[in-house]
Amino acid sequence: MPNFMTTRLISALSVAALLGGILPVQTSAQNPDPARAKTLTVEQATELLKRPNALRLGVTELSPEAASVLAGFKGALSFEVLSSLSPAAAAALSPYGGELNLPGLKTLAPDVAAGLAKREHGSLILQGITQVSVEAAKALADYKGNVNLAGVKEITADLAAAFAPHAGMLVLGATEVSDDTAAALAKHVGGITLGALARLTSTPLARKLGEQERLSLNSVTSITKDIADALGPRAGEKKHHVLGIGLKELPADVAESLAHGWELTYFTALLDLSADAAAALAKHRTSHLGFNVLEKLSPEAARSLAHAPTLLVVLYGLKEVSPEVELAMGSGPASWQVWALTKITKAEFATALVKRQGPHRELDKVAFLSDEAAGVFAADSSDAALKNMQFPGLTSLTHVPLSAKLAIRHKDLKLAKLTALPDDVAKALATQKGRLDLSGVQSLSAEAAKALAGHEGELKLDGVKEISDEAAKALAQAVGAVSLGSLEKASPAAAAALKTNTKILLPAKLK
């Protein structure tokens, strides 16, 4: 889950602009789209109020009169290229309560900041600004909503102190802060997002950040136990708190402090998890432990996590583990979610995977299932087991009960990476009703063709390049649509048989 917390914290200020209300508008030379106009009349601004959800405007100049009208817009408002704003126009926008995005502003005069700060609510995105004066910061501090200044990389103690009374979320782009600046930031009344911060050494700032329910420190690569302790939310406040942190190494004492303090912790850059760190994480009850790029796991670490009092262990980068590690992962009560997994061999591990409630789309990359693992998925009777689990990455499928369950559960079944189709599996899959994609299968036996001919729905067999007379004769009895778009070799008798069924799609050269 790359950049999990950055997305949750910073994009919260701009998500509305991505919603479906930014729709193309039919225009003509006689009636140009006012959203693209360089300047807006009051009449044009009034017309724009009828647009849904979001406005992205191309104005290069905004009059107070037009701004006053646009302040009545109910969705997100973005001035894409506006590079300057008068104090009067800024003040005229004060009734506007949505997300205000001014990406073209490169400077912010104190009187303009004061005008923007008159708004009672909403969010203010000023990502094009790289420097803010103390006077402008003092003016913005009166604003009650969230302020995104992610372009501001350098923050002095005086600037941080000027922002301190601000009660909303303040997003800053600083990569480093001095102790004095950190102490001033710690006094900020509202929340702080420092997603680019590379070093966190200030206990007061860590304590301030730890008060937030969602915290992104994805650029911080190492911390001490004291900082980890300070980051921990206060006693009784752990529930639902989420931390994303970019640690490159995880000492056991830091691991224990983070597990003690946070309900959901995502390690976004950790490549290796020691057995000691895993054991430390397992000492405290958590909801989720996530590892974005972890590529290997020892049996000892896997066993500790499996027995942790944790609802779910999430692994985004782990592609393959040994049977010994699979057994360790399945040895305890923890549930696992492994997004890049390509192989499952042990029934114990399959059981640990299937016990998690909800969709299982994370198994879409699994290419190989042993018969014992397939048996676990086939036998599970819960709605979660196969409701959203198709195993579209499988390159082979020999387990008949699993094939039958997949056929029953899915009206749009994609098994396009299968290259071979055993007869008994073909019979099981043929009971599926709907769309069945077997476009990776390269050849068909007469028995498989006979079974698939009874499939009710759309059948894709576009990987088949050659077909025997017997298979063609059997498939010609198909009751549903069949696509053989890549068929290259068929005897005259085979081609003639296939042509008798108008539901079978053949390449032009065989028609």
Q: Quick one: which of 130, 238, 248, 148 has its CA closest to 193?
A: 148
Distance of CA 484 to the CA centre of its chain: 36
Q: Are 4 and 289 in contact (CB under 8 A)?
A: no
Could you tell me the pTM of the whole model? 0.84
Distance from C-alpha of 79 to C-alpha of 69, rounded to nearest angstrom: 14
pLDDT in tens, 140-192: 999 999 999 999 999 999 999 999 999 999 999 999 999 999 999 999 999 99
Q: Are 91 and 115 in contact (CB under 8 A)?
A: yes
pLDDT in tens, 241-269: 899 999 999 999 999 999 998 999 999 99
- Order of strands, sheet of 146-149, starting from the edge strand that comes earlier in the sequence: 54-57, 76-79, 99-101, 123-125, 146-149, 170-172, 192-193
Distance from C-alpha of 406 to C-alpha of 435, rounded to nearest angstrom: 12
pLDDT in tens, 324-334: 999 999 999 99
CA quadruple 489, 494, 495, 500: dihedral sign: negative
Each residue's pLDDT, cut to its tens digit, for the chain (511 residues) gives 444 444 433 343 333 333 333 334 444 445 689 999 999 999 999 999 999 989 999 999 999 999 999 999 999 999 999 999 999 999 999 999 999 999 999 999 999 999 999 998 899 999 999 999 999 999 999 999 999 999 999 999 999 999 999 999 999 999 999 999 999 999 999 999 999 999 999 999 999 999 988 999 999 999 999 999 999 876 666 666 899 999 999 999 999 999 998 999 999 999 999 999 999 999 999 899 999 999 999 999 999 999 999 889 999 999 999 999 999 999 999 989 999 999 999 999 999 988 876 666 788 999 999 999 999 999 987 655 555 678 999 999 999 999 999 999 899 999 999 999 999 999 999 999 999 999 999 999 999 999 999 999 999 999 999 999 999 999 999 999 999 999 999 999 999 999 999 999 999 888 7
Q: Are strands 242-245 and 343-344 parallel, antiparallel or unpaired?
A: unpaired
**What per-residue string of b and e applies to 344-371 under the rule 16 or more CB within 10 Å gives b?**
bbbbbbbbbbbbbeeebebbbbbebbbe
For every residue of 473-511, which 3-state class applies, written as one string? HHHCCCCCEEECCCCCECCHHHHHHHHCCCCEECCHHHC
